[in-house]
Structure 1
């Protein structure tokens, strides 16, 4: 426990951990203060993300960057799953779909772009394992095709709701199977293909593996609990800030839900461990597309007022497809510099500006 306490004492950012109990206390005694709860929940997630970042790096030091990135993406995506589960049980299916699409685009463009930019400002040219990046982007491309088909068929025949629901359930099973086979390929049958491209900076000594794993699990649970408060307050707070529902689900929810992973990805890039950053960003996006979204479709038959399908509004499908193709393009060489990150962030900013200015009914 001493390394954890020392980390908290030495990092001013972690002093924001006082907002973690503050948000729980406020939610209990003043649950109608939605704007205040929204701000407190965001401030609480920031230091939790920093703790999760250090714990992930410690685990990656023992397991390797590929497995470390997979572990962080898995635990980090529990936040997105909890946010979506809470919204789904409340019948906010459009918010669920917006958060799913937004998480895929945010992880692929914003998280990866920020890692390339900040890592490239410190290191002239960085290298990463392009085989691993190709696998993750390939899985992501498969998922976007599966998300495109229900949207395309429903647009052609608006009266095909039962067909779309049945198709979505079948596609959900196929995507989960594809994700499982992808993990089997990368971690069991061909792990040598996914070795890191560089050693990176040693930096501070890693935590003991027991403390690191316990911190990963514990902090992820805290992030999930804070996210529940966040999702309950975000809609009312968005109205007071003048944000559209599409912008809230696609940008705000995905940025807050992925804050923990973003901290780990950026920290890895700054230490010249770009395999860890790419593994977290693309691994998280592919997990959301291949596991979280299909799991929510299947879970919706048991919770919520109605089943959920994989039909997204056309703009969301286009953005996911563009984000995926952009990731395929920029990771093809296995090398990166800061301007590559700028390009990714510019594409993301185009989407964010469009959604912020979009009329409220345009995403239906």
Structure 2
């Protein structure tokens, strides 16, 4: 099967491209793209694991999250250009809660069923918790002040730009803190490292190259797959909020999800946590604020006001994820709790 993996990956990717650009039947496009995303996810998982072998679990997970969010950022920029602000905010909300609940939950559950307890850097867990709370505060304050004090559109945009700038500064500071000044404090220690006992499938250069290629493939296949969903949503009468927050977010991040689970199954929970939590932080502290400035460049300003439902969902996700991950260890039961909260939110969003 291993020998057939790459030929099948290429074959399905080409087939998916043909189905999209030749405008095949929507159901056929959906099925082919869904199968393709499984192979692409496997490729991304292998590339991430190889990079993590050389760079460590944390940097490997960070690169995976960054490349995955870069593709999502590009798609969001096109949506902003078209003025589809509600869909953009819903998809950002979905990415944050999806990573914190679905990805982290599935990783902890899968890894916990194989290993009794999985540990990662406790200092990193504490810093992640603080940053997640900062993201919630930054979304909560503008919504409350604008709605309660009835701020003008101009003041609302000024507040949005200020908050966006603060979040970007906070994220850049976090990168300097975690990657430069306090790198040794946050790296994997002996008690949290997985026992590799294995050699990497590719060289360091090949691993990085394949990670980039896999990410590009993810971007294309995700966009093709998401494009077919509108027909299904119209047919079954689903709301734009539910589609953006759950359907688009799950499909668009499918490869990241599976990569994190694959790493957890190999007792590399540090990389899985970095993909899940690190990706959420990147969305909240960098991607969302950048989109505010991008909208200004297009001359069609987008504010940072999320709906009450979206803020509540993000707040709940951060609360349970912080409670579970702050001790620097995960078990299968904690993973199950995260998934149950995700199911509750999914059902609630469906009826909005």
For Structure 1 versus Structure 2, the TM-score category normalised by the shorter chain is over 0.9
Distance apart, 1:28 and its partner CA: 1.9
Aligned counterpart for 1:30 among listed residues 23, 35, 43: 23
Q: Does 1:331 align with 2:325?
A: yes
- Partner residue, 2:235: 240
- Partner residue, 1:87: 79
Matches within 5 A, 1:40-51: 40-51=32-43
**8 Å contact 1:97–1:312 — kept in the other structure?**
yes
Q: Does 1:310 align with 2:298?
A: no
* TM-score, scaled relative to structure 2: 0.93
- Partner residue, 1:223: 218
**Structure 1 Cα separation of the partners of residues 149 and 183 of structure 2:** 44
**Structure 1 Cα separation of the partners of residues 215 and 21 of structure 2:** 21
- Partner residue, 1:361: none
Counterpart secondary structure, 1:300: helix
- Partner residue, 1:341: 335
**8 Å contact 1:300–1:307 — kept in the other structure?**
yes
Matches within 5 A, 1:90-101: 90-101=82-93
Distance apart, 1:154 and its partner CA: 2.3
- Partner residue, 2:179: 187
Distance apart, 1:159 and its partner CA: 5.3
- Partner residue, 2:12: 19
**8 Å contact 1:86–1:228 — kept in the other structure?**
no
**Structure 1 pair 106–91 and aligned structure 2 pair: CA distance change class (3 A):** same
- Partner residue, 1:169: 161
- Partner residue, 2:114: 122
**8 Å contact 2:139–2:304 — kept in the other structure?**
yes
**Structure 1 pair 178–307 and aligned structure 2 pair: CA distance change class (3 A):** same
- Partner residue, 1:267: 262
- Partner residue, 1:289: 284
**Structure 2 Cα separation of the partners of residues 162 and 35 of structure 1:** 45
**Structure 1 pair 246–200 and aligned structure 2 pair: CA distance change class (3 A):** same
**Structure 1 pair 117–138 and aligned structure 2 pair: CA distance change class (3 A):** same
**8 Å contact 1:203–1:271 — kept in the other structure?**
no
Moved more, 220-229 or 163-172: 220-229
**Structure 1 Cα separation of the partners of residues 33 and 157 of structure 2:** 35
**8 Å contact 2:62–2:275 — kept in the other structure?**
yes
**Structure 1 Cα separation of the partners of residues 174 and 301 of structure 2:** 27
**Structure 1 pair 34–165 and aligned structure 2 pair: CA distance change class (3 A):** farther
Distance apart, 1:30 and its partner CA: 1.4
**Structure 1 pair 228–90 and aligned structure 2 pair: CA distance change class (3 A):** farther
Q: Write the deviation string for residues 34-61 of structure 1: whole angstroms up to 9, x where unpaired.
A: 4543443333222111111111111111
- Partner residue, 1:3: none
The alignment's C-alpha RMSD in Å is 2.0
**8 Å contact 1:132–1:279 — kept in the other structure?**
no
Moved more, 46-55 or 191-200: 191-200
**Structure 2 Cα separation of the partners of residues 302 and 35 of structure 1:** 37
**8 Å contact 2:97–2:317 — kept in the other structure?**
yes
**Structure 1 pair 269–100 and aligned structure 2 pair: CA distance change class (3 A):** same
**Structure 2 Cα separation of the partners of residues 40 and 309 of structure 1:** 37
Distance apart, 1:242 and its partner CA: 4.0
Q: Write the deviation string for residues 198-223 of structure 1: whole angstroms up to 9, x where unpaired.
A: 33243753121111111111111121
Q: Which 5+ residue runs of structure 1 have no aligned equivalent? A: 1-5, 359-364
Counterpart secondary structure, 1:124: coil
Q: Which 5+ residue runs of structure 2 have no aligned equivalent? A: none
Distance apart, 1:284 and its partner CA: 0.4
